[in-house]
Amino acid sequence: MPRVTSAPLPFDATVPMPPVSHARFAIGDIVCHRLFEFRGVIFDVDPVFANSAEWYEAIPEDVRPRKDQPFYHILAENSESSYIAYVSQQNLVVDETDEPVDHPAIGGLFEQFADGRYQLKREHRH
C-alpha cells in the first residue's frame, strides 16, 4: 500500500479568514443614500472595500464605514447633478419611488427601466 503524506497547505491556516459579506443589492437596483440626498442605479459591486486609502481617509471618521462589507458603484443623481458614487452597503436603502434614474451613462450600460429596476445590457453580463 502506498504511503500517504500530507502536503503543506497553500495558505496559513492559523490566520483567521475575514467574515463573508453578502451583497444586499444587485446590479440594476435603484437605491438611496441613507445620510445624503441622492439616489442612483447600481452598476458594479465590490465584496469589500476596493478604493484608495486616500479616498477612505477623506471620509470624516464619525461617519466612515467599515471596509469589510460590500461597496457599490452607483450612477447617482441629486437635484443638481449626475455623477458616479462609491457607497458602503450600510449607507444604502431601497429607493421606494419606483421612478427611473436620470443619469447620462444609463443608456450605455442598461436596457430600459422595468418593474422598478434596470436590466444590464447583454454585452456587459458575465
C-alpha 44/C-alpha 40 separation (Å) is 12
pLDDT digits (tens, 9 = 90+) for 14-37: 555 555 568 999 999 999 999 999
User: 3-class DSSP state for residue 122?
Assistant: helix
Q: Which alpha helices (H) appear in 16-62, and where do they start and end?
A: 53-57
Write down the pTM of the prediction.
0.81
Give the model confidence (pLDDT) of 83-111 as tens digits: 999 999 999 999 999 999 999 999 999 99
C-alpha cell at 124: 456587459
* CA–CA distance, 16 with 107 (Å, rounded to integer): 43
Q: Where are the domains of the chain?
A: 30-124
